[in-house]
Amino acid sequence: MGKITIEPLSRVEGHGKVTIVIDESGRPVEVKLHITAIRGFEQFVVGRPAEEVPRIVTRICGICQTPHHLASVKAVDAAWDVEITSAAKKLRELMLLGSIIHSHALHFYYLASPDFILGPDTDPKVRSVLGLIEKSPEMLKKAIALRKFGQSIVEKIGGRAIHPVTAIPGGIAKTLSEEERDQFLKEIDTMIEYAKESVELIKSINEKYMDVVKSLGVIDTYYLGIVEDGKHSFYDGILRFLSPDGREKVEFPFSQYQEYIGEHNVPHSYVKYPYYKKVGYPEGIYRVGPLAMMNICDSIPTPLAEEARKEFIDIFGNPANQSLAYHHARLIELLAACERTKELLEDHEITSKDVKVEVEPKAGSGVGVVEAPRGVLIHHYETDDRGIVVKANMIVASTHNIPAMEEALKQAVIEIFKR
Amino acid sequence: MDPLGNYKSIISARATDKRILKRAQDGGIVSAVFIYGLENNLLDGAVVASKEKNFKPVPKVATTPEEVLEAAGTKYTVSPNLSVLKSAIREYSCEKIGVVGTPCQIISTRKALKYPLGFRHLVDKIALLVGIFCMENFPYMGMKIIVEELCGVRLEDVVKMDIGKGKFWVYTKWGEVKSVKLKMTHPYEQSSCHVCTDYTAELADISTGSVGSPDGWSTVIIRNHRGEEIINNMIEEGYLETRPIDEGKFGLGILKKLALTKKEKNMKEIEHRKKLGLPVPPDVCGLLQ
Amino acid sequence: MEDKKITVAHVQLSSCCGCLISLADTYEKFPDILSSIDLVYCQTLMDAREIPEADVILVEGSVCLEDHHALEVAREVREKGKTVVALGACAALGCVTRFSKGGQMPKPVHGSFSSLTEIIRCDLAIPGCPPSPELIVEVITAIIRGDKEYLKPFIRYGECKHESCGCDLIVNVINKSLCMGCGICSASCPTRAIEMIDGRPLISPHLCVKCGVCSFQCPRIEI
C-alpha cells in the first residue's frame, strides 16, 4: 500500500499535482488530479462597472488573456442587448485568432514537443524547450515566428499583446489600418506553410508513438464545443454536446448553458467539476478543446484544415477519444486559425472604421462564450440598472476538462501498471 | 559644469520653408526637423503638441508634414505630450518616432528608455528627442488669466503667444499686440516647475529655443551625433539656414545666464522643500546612456 | 576559460504566468537568453520537480496566506536562492490579487493574497503587469554583470512591503507639488486607467490593477 505523488505538474500553466494510491498487490486504486490555485476573480469583479471588467479578467491567465477579454465583453454586450457591427465582430474574431496562433504554437512547440522530439526517456534536464534550442533550432525558429505573428495581431488590434484592452461593449476601440493589414498579408502565407508543416510533423510523430497514443489516456466522454451552422467556429455560434458514441448531438445557445452544464464540488481540488446535466455526474463528464472540436463539428470551414481533419478522423476514428491525439487536433486548429486569418485579412470590411455602436448600461444578464486555446470559455455576468456587476460566473476552458483529465490519468496509470 | 549641459555645437538657425516660418514660434526648427524626418524616411511619426479651440493643447501623433505644421507654435501651458507615446507604437504603428518636449518630458522619455518597465517594444523605436527651452510652464487656467485678465484679450482671438524681452506677449487675429511684464505672471506659474534645474533640455538630442538668437531665428544646441547628423543633413539639403551664434551678451551670454538663473533659483526651492521634509525630484544625470 | 553561467530558477505562485510569457515574447532572442543562463528550474517549461539551490530565483505571483504550500515554497525560495527576485507586480506589490477576497467555490477561505515582498525578504522586485520583455532582459543582464547601479530601483522595490496604486500618483506627486504634467504615467498604464485632464493624471479606480508601473515611470519619484 503506498502513495505516489507527482508534484508539481510541469509544463502547464497553473499549479497541480497528481496522487496515485496503490494497494498491496501493486494495483492503482485511486488517482486524483489536484488543481491547487485560486485567486477569486469571480468574487472581486462584483461591484465594478461591467464595461471595465474585460480589462481586469485578462489577468486570469497570462497565456490566453485574449479569450478572457473577448468572452467578458461578449457577456456585457449580451447583458445590455447590444448588437455590434459586422466589422467589429470580424476584428474581435481576428484578435482571437491571433491569440490562438500564439498559444497553440507555444503549447505544442515549447511545452509538449520536447517529449516527442527529444524522446520521453531523455534526461528531464534537457527534455524541454532548452533541449530544442540545441537539437531542433530550425523548428524552434518557426514556432517563434508563429508566436510572433499571433502576438503581433493581438497587439495591433487589442492594443497590447499580453492583457489586451480594446474590446469594449458595443464593439472595439481600435481599427486596423490598410498598412497594418497589408503587412500581415505579406506574412500570412508563410504562417500557413508553417502550420501545414506542423501538421505533417505531428503526423510523423504519431506514427512513431501510435501504440502509446492509442492505449494511454483513452477514455470515452461527451464532447463540447462551438459550432456555427454545424461548422468549427472559434468566435461565435452555438454550443453543441456530442455523445461518447458520436450519435447524439444536442445544441443550445450560449445563454442557456446553465441548463446543460452543472458544476460538482470535489474536496481534493480547487476547481469545480463540470458535467453534462442531462446525464449527471460522473457519467456526464465531457471534454472541450481541439480534440472535442474535431469530433463535434461537421467540418472545418477552411480547406487545408478540413483535409487535415478528415485524415485525423481516418487515423483516430469519430469521435476520437484518445487524449494524446489532442496534439494533432491542436495543430489542425492552428492551421484552421491561420487560414481563417487570411480570409479575414482579405475581407475588405476588416479595415472598416464602423466598429462602435452606442451602449446603454442597464440591468441584465449576459453570457459570452469563445473557444479559448484549451476549449470553451464561458463568462456570465448579471448587472444592475447602473450597469454594475452584481454576480459573475466564469468557467475557464481547462476546468471543463479536469474531470476527464483525471479519468484519463486513471486509465493511463492502470495501463502502465499492467505492463 | 556648463549650465547648458553637454553639447557638440551651438548655432542660430531658421527654416527656409516659408510655410513653416508663417506658423512657427521663432525659427521653426522643431517643425522643420520633423518635416525633414518624415519626408526623408528618417521618422514615420512625431509626438507633438497640437491644439484645439481656445489654445487648449492636445498631444498628438503627427504622421504627415501637414499635421506637424498644424501643431507648430508654442503653447504656454501644460501639454502632456508623452501620454500618446504608446499610441505612437500601437495604433499608429510607428517605428521611428520623434518626440518634442519640455526638459521634464525629455527626462521622462530618457527614463522610459533606460527602464522600459511599462513600455514593451518602445526602446528601439525612439529615433529623435527634441527639447525646447523652458523656464516654467503655466496650468491652463493660469495661462487663461494671463491672457484674458492681465492682457485683456479673449483666448479665442489669440493667434500666437510669446515670452521675450521680459514680457508675456499676446498676438490677436485682428493684428493687435498686447503684453504684460513677466513679473505679473509669476503667481500663475506651475509650482512643480520650481524644482526643475534644466532650462535647455540637457538630455535631448537637439535643444532649441528663441533665447540667444535674433528675432525670427532660433538657437539650436546640437548635443550628440544623432542630432548632429540630422541638422547637418538639413543644412546641406537647404532645409535650414544658419548663422554662427552670437557669443556675446545678447547671444550665448543671455542663454547661459538664464540657464544658470533657473538652476540657482530652483536649487534654493529644492533646499527649502527638503527643509520642510518634502520630497524633491531625484538626480537625473544617470539617465543619459 | 568560459565564464560559468549563473543558475536561474523560475517559480510561480499565485500568478497568471504573464511575466514568463512576457520574457518569451523576446521571440527570436528567447533561445539566446535561455542559452546565456543555466535554467535549472522552470515548472512551465521543463520537468524539474524540486527547486534546487540557484544564484537567482525569479518568483512571479503573490502568496495566498491560506495556502500553506505557497508559504512553504516562499520560505524554500528564500533558503535556496542567493538572489530572490519578485518578478512582476503580483510578486512585488500584489497587483490585481489585492482585490481577491475569497468567497469563491470550492475554496471560499482562500482569500488573503499578499505580495512576496511582504512574506519573505526579496533582493529585487520588479513591478509591471507584465514588465516589458526588454526590461526583464535588462534586469537579468544587470544581475549577470553585477550592475548594482542599474538595479538600484529594483533593490528599493524589494524592500518595500506594501501595495502600489494609481492613487500613489496623487499622494506622492500631485499632492507634493511635483507633477508637471508630462503624461508618461498615462502612457505607461497597462489598463489605460489614467487619463490626462488639464495636465494632470485622472486615475480610474475601476481599471487600476495596482501594478505599480505609473509610479515607477514617473520621473519625479526617486527610483
Give the residue carrying C-alpha cell 508553417: A194
Co-location of C31 and C141 in the same domain: yes
Q: Which of B90, B93, B121 sits opposite A159 (nearest CB)?
A: B90
Q: Please check whether residue C187 touches A, CB under 8 A.
A: no
- Taking alpha carbons only, the member of A35, A398, A7, A39 closest to residue C14 is A39
In DSSP terms, A228 is beta-bridged to A231
- What pLDDT band is residue B289 in, cutting at 50, 70 and 90? low
Q: Are A273 and A265 in contact (CB under 8 A)?
A: yes
Cα–Cα–Cα angle for C148, C152, C155, nearest 5°?
100
Give A145→chain C minimum CA distance, Å: 7
**For residue C23, what are the contacts with CB-CB under 8 A and spacing of at least 6?**
C30, C33, C133, C136, C137
C-alpha Rg value of chain C to the nearest Å: 18
Return d(Cα B10, Cα B206) in angstroms, integer: 10
Q: Please give the residue range of the domain that contains residue A231.
A: 41-418
Q: Which of B108, B123, B281 sits opposite C134 (nearest CB)?
A: B123
pLDDT reading at C57 higher than 90: yes
- Taking alpha carbons only, the member of A132, A333, A307 closest to residue A235 is A333
Co-location of C85 and C111 in the same domain: yes
Q: Specify if C1 maps to a domain.
A: no
Give the residue carrying C-alpha cell 477569486: A40
* Regions of chain A short of the pLDDT cut 70: 36
Give A155→chain C minimum CA distance, Å: 12
Q: Please check whether residue B64 touches A, CB under 8 A.
A: no
Cα first-last separation, chain B: 19
| Partner-chain contact A62 C190, CB within 8 Å | no
Q: Specify if C223 maps to a domain.
A: no
Q: Specify if B163 maps to a domain.
A: no
Q: Specify if C14 maps to a domain.
A: yes
Number of structural domains in chain B: 1
Which of C159, C180, C202 is at the close of a domain?
C159
Q: Specify if A289 maps to a domain.
A: yes
What is chain B's mean pLDDT, rounded?
94
Co-location of C70 and C98 in the same domain: yes
Q: Are C114 and C65 in contact (CB under 8 A)?
A: yes
Q: Are C88 and C45 in contact (CB under 8 A)?
A: no
Co-location of C124 and C172 in the same domain: no
Q: Specify if A36 maps to a domain.
A: no
Q: Specify if A155 maps to a domain.
A: yes
pLDDT reading at C220 higher than 80: yes
Give the residue carrying C-alpha cell 544617470: B286
Q: Please check whether residue C196 touches B, CB under 8 A.
A: yes
B247-268 burial, b at 16+ Cβ within 10 Å, e below that, comes to eeeebbeebbebbeebbeebee
SS (H, E, C) chain C: CCCCCCEEEEEECECCCHHHHHHHCCCCHHHHHHHHCEEEEECCCCCCCCCCCEEEEEEECEEECCCHHHHHHHHHHHHHEEEEEEECHHHHCCHHHHHCCCCCCCCCCCCCEECHHHHCCCCEEECCCCCCHHHHHHHHHHHHHCCHHHHHHHHHHHHCCCCCCCHHHHHHHHCCCCCCCCCHHHHHCCCCCEEEECCEEEECCCCCCCCCHHHHHCCCCCC
Query: Does A407 appear as a known binding residue?
Result: no
| Partner-chain contact B115 C135, CB within 8 Å | yes
Return d(Cα B86, Cα B123) in angstroms, integer: 11
Co-location of C72 and C112 in the same domain: yes
Per-residue pLDDT at A158: 93
Return d(Cα C117, Cα C112) in angstroms, integer: 15
Number of structural domains in chain A: 1
CATH number at residue C87: 3.40.50.700
Per-residue pLDDT at A120: 85
In DSSP terms, B57 is beta-bridged to B51
pTM: 0.84
Q: Specify if A314 maps to a domain.
A: yes
Return d(Cα B64, Cα C133) in angstroms, integer: 31
Q: Please give the residue range of the domain that contains residue C182.
A: 167-217
Q: Specify if B61 maps to a domain.
A: yes
Q: Specify if A18 maps to a domain.
A: no
Q: Is the peptide bond before C127 cis (omega within 30 degrees of 0)?
A: no
Per-residue pLDDT at A130: 86
**For residue B237, what are the contacts with CB-CB under 8 A and spacing of at least 6?**
B36
Q: Please list every residue in chain A whose beta carbon sits closer than 8 Å to the beta carbon of residue B61.
A: none
Q: Specify if A144 maps to a domain.
A: yes
Q: Specify if B94 maps to a domain.
A: yes
Q: In whole angstroms, what separates CA B205 from the centre of its chain?
A: 12
Return d(Cα C172, Cα C223) in angstroms, integer: 13
Co-location of C89 and C20 in the same domain: yes
| Partner-chain contact A160 B90, CB within 8 Å | yes
Strand-pair category, B167-172 with B158-164: antiparallel
Co-location of C62 and C155 in the same domain: yes
* Cβ atoms within 10 Å, residue C21: 24
Per-residue pLDDT at A36: 67
List chains adjacent to chain C, taking adjacency as at least 3 C-beta pairs closer than 8 Å: A, B
For the segment C4-40, what is each residue's pLDDT rounded down to a tens digit? Answer: 899 999 999 999 999 999 999 999 899 999 999 999 9
Per-residue pLDDT at A183: 94
Per-residue pLDDT at A323: 92
Number of structural domains in chain C: 2
Torsional class of B152: left (φ above 0), alpha (ψ -120 to 50), beta (otherwise): left
- What pLDDT band is residue C1 in, cutting at 50, 70 and 90? very low
Q: Which of C181, C220, C221 sits opposite B80 (nearest CB)?
A: C181
Q: Specify if C89 maps to a domain.
A: yes
Co-location of C129 and C22 in the same domain: yes
Q: Specify if B93 maps to a domain.
A: yes
Q: Please give the residue range of the domain that contains residue B204.
A: 9-134+198-262
Q: Specify if B226 maps to a domain.
A: yes
Q: Specify if B153 maps to a domain.
A: no
Q: Specify if B72 maps to a domain.
A: yes
Query: Does A61 appear as a known binding residue?
Result: yes
| Partner-chain contact A159 B120, CB within 8 Å | no
Give C103→chain B minimum CA distance, Å: 32
Co-location of C124 and C179 in the same domain: no
Per-residue pLDDT at A11: 80
- Taking alpha carbons only, the member of C190, C171, C191, C174 closest to residue C182 is C174
What is chain A's mean pLDDT, rounded?
91
Strand-pair category, C81-87 with C124-126: parallel
Co-location of C37 and C100 in the same domain: yes
- Taking alpha carbons only, the member of C71, C85, C153, C95 closest to residue C121 is C85
Half-sphere exposure of A206 (CA within 13 A, CB side): 22
B262-265 long-range Cβ contacts below 8 angstroms, 24+ apart? B262/B135, B262/B196, B262/B197, B262/B198, B262/B199, B263/B3, B263/B197, B263/B199, B265/B194
Give the length of chain C: 223
CATH number at residue B224: 3.40.640
Q: Specify if C183 maps to a domain.
A: yes
- Best probe of the A interface among B63, B85, B91, by most A CBs < 10 A, is B91
Return d(Cα B7, Cα A76) in angstroms, integer: 56
Q: Are A38 and C107 in contact (CB under 8 A)?
A: yes
Q: Specify if B73 maps to a domain.
A: yes
Q: Specify if A201 maps to a domain.
A: yes
Co-location of C148 and C177 in the same domain: no
Per-residue pLDDT at A418: 82
Per-residue pLDDT at C2: 55
Q: Which of A52, A127, A265 sits opposite C47 (nearest CB)?
A: A127
- Taking alpha carbons only, the member of A374, A409, A402 closest to residue A218 is A409
Give the residue carrying C-alpha cell 518635416: B35
SS (H, E, C) chain B: CCCCCCCCEEEEEEECCHHHHHHCCCCCHHHHHHHHHHHCCCCCEEEEEEECHHHCEEEEEECCHHHHHHCCCCCCCCCCHHHHHHHHHCCCCCCCEEEEECHHHHHHHHHHHHCCCCCCCCHHHEEEEEEECCCCCCCHHHHHHHHHHHCCCCHHHEEEEEEECCEEEEEECCCCEEEEEHHHHHHHCCHHHHHCCCCCCCCCCEEEECCCCCCCCEEEEECCHHHHHHHHHHHHCCCEEEEECCCCHHHHHHHHHHHHHHHHHHHHHHHHHHHCCCCCCCCCHHHCC
Q: Are B114 and B145 in contact (CB under 8 A)?
A: no
Q: Please list every residue in chain C whose beta carbon sits closer than 8 Å to the beta carbon of residue A60.
A: 16
**For residue A314, what are the contacts with CB-CB under 8 A and spacing of at least 6?**
none
Per-residue pLDDT at B76: 94
- Best probe of the B interface among A155, A183, A186, by most B CBs < 10 A, is A155
CATH number at residue A193: 1.10.645.10
Co-location of C208 and C104 in the same domain: no
Q: Specify if A239 maps to a domain.
A: yes
What dihedral do alpha carbons C130, C136, C139, C141 form, nearest 10°? 180
